[in-house]
Structure 1
Amino acid sequence: MSPAGPDSARQPSPEHLLVLLEVARSGRYTTAAQALGLTHTTVARNIAALNRALGGRVLVRGADGWELTALGERAARAAEGVAQAMTTLVDGGAAADPVTGVVRMTTTDGFAAYLASPAVARLREEHPGLSVEIVTVTRRAAQHRSGVDVEVVVGTPQVNRGRAVQVAEYELGLYGARDYLARHGTPSSVAEASAHHLVYFVDSMLQVDDLDVPRRLLPGIQDALTSTNVFVHVEATRAGAGLGFLPCFMADRHPDLVRLLPDEVRDRLPYHAVVHPESWRRPAVAAVLAGLRAEAGRQREALLGRPPGAEGQDGAWRSRKE
């Protein structure tokens, strides 16, 4: 960059923009450095140079990593154009598949395993240049983007930045293992179920208010085994640790689990995808969202977890919140 005058001094380098784009996607200097084949120090120097060129900060440190400022979001949009132009150049000007690159997503364990995984597998058949990174976590949507393109959360998120779209709806119910019920009896009422012990999330670590359901529906029930991982809930219930409040699309896969009191102890919750402003423009992110919704449509019956005999009763089968 020539230092000839003030105008040229404020022209950001394409190289600096591409470094910013990688930091924005990962939220980490170290991760961006690894992806670009640079050192952490070089990444930091590029960001500092971009700050000087644009006359302000493009990144601020957030709770989970580096986040784009408003100025950084504008720079990231320009960086996406640079990246796309370079891809076209490398491909010899041919029309390249726009659904390419890495999409980073956070979601719950069950959604990741049974909806996101098959959705990505289908997408990659058509778009082999697509890669999806999934981090499993059960929490509220973050108020600021930190290296994540899509956050799939339980419930209806309240976000100041970004856009939320519902991608699925699922049912939760009370389950017991056949062997456990043979030993301890099958509850026929809420009062009898409350006398058993619960397998569920760790109450003190539960960040999603909408998931605090069984302790309200089963007043006085004591915890048997708690975990932050829903697969632990399923396996602990199968092992006879207690009664589990489980997603039906996970529990109904196991014939050794019996659903209990389906009319009294149930809840239906939405999955929402929160997409941050700078990610909406990426064709790869749009394709992943469409793929998730399509997969949810294919699995709708399993997600809703209707009890035996409820087929064809769409109008009558409602969640307690409706």
Structure 2
Amino acid sequence: MSLPTSMSRRSFVGTALAGASALAFGPAHAQSAKYRLRYGTAFPATHPGVIRIIEASELIKKQTNGLVDLQVYPNSQLGSEPDMFSQVRSGALDFMSTSGVNQTVVPIGGINAIAFAFESYDQVWSAMDGDLGNHVRGEFAKVGLHVLPKCLDNGYRNITSGAKPIASPDDLKGFKIRVPGNPLWVTLFKTLGAAPTPINFGELYAALQTRIVDGQENPLALIQSAKLYEVQKYIALSGHIWDGHYIFANAARWNGMPADVRDAVTAALSDAALKERQDIQSFNEKAQAEMQASGVTFNKVDTKPFRDALRTAGFYTEWKTKFGADAWGLLEKSVGQL
């Protein structure tokens, strides 16, 4: 997979900051790694969220003259997302990135997944790089997790199916759909009449292949890189949830490193996240074309009937109560009234 080689001004600034911080590490000769760190993710090895983090790990090693060795483990090599999240909380793992599973520990961590909230990326980054994201990161700090300032883009999620296209809420009645194991996703699809079934991502391909579930929902980049299209004939461009992956670190491990090390890691991972965001948009366009060429049928979804069904059923009112008026107000500051 070819990735953009051009560097945005923000990316350049991030890299420059990383270079400046490296001056604190003294003479430019290789050191043995004092800080051996592990980063786990469920993303496949070909996903931009892995490729850019690996680039960042190489930059960190260079900028710290070998003092920091960040090893990246894709494709759930270190366990499922819930397992890795628990490992980071306990200190058994240093870093990981995820979205949905964190809601089981910090409920507000799932507020970005409110269905049909974000109509554009301008709204997404206004919220997630701004007041809403800062609020969420502060809540994670209370449970022993440091969250890096820039999250990865996992893209807008879309519904795939094996037997029929999904075009309206009625098509979801009784539809057994795989979802991440968290309450917001489960409530969303139950409200629309589906039968949500939590399954770990690493087991999803087999579950679709053996028809344990009728379909699933994920961003196009992940559907393509995990080859889910091989066992799903239809993809509905529903864009029902914008999904981002926070980059988590064990707070005790993080705070135990010197400030200059933390600065170098922060600069490199933040720069990687900004580049990955650009990658995802071009990756999605390429992924759709490739999957269409392989025989997958796409359909564009009119989202209004879905949003109206959720509103009538009290979905937004319920989650405003659960997340609290303050957090909900920060969300609506970027997206308007839901």
Normalising by structure 1, we get a TM-score of 0.49
Q: Which has the larger radius of gyration?
A: 1
Structure whose residues are more often helix by fraction: 2
Normalising by structure 2, we get a TM-score of 0.47
Structure of greater relative contact order (alpha carbons < 8 Å, 6+ residues apart): 2
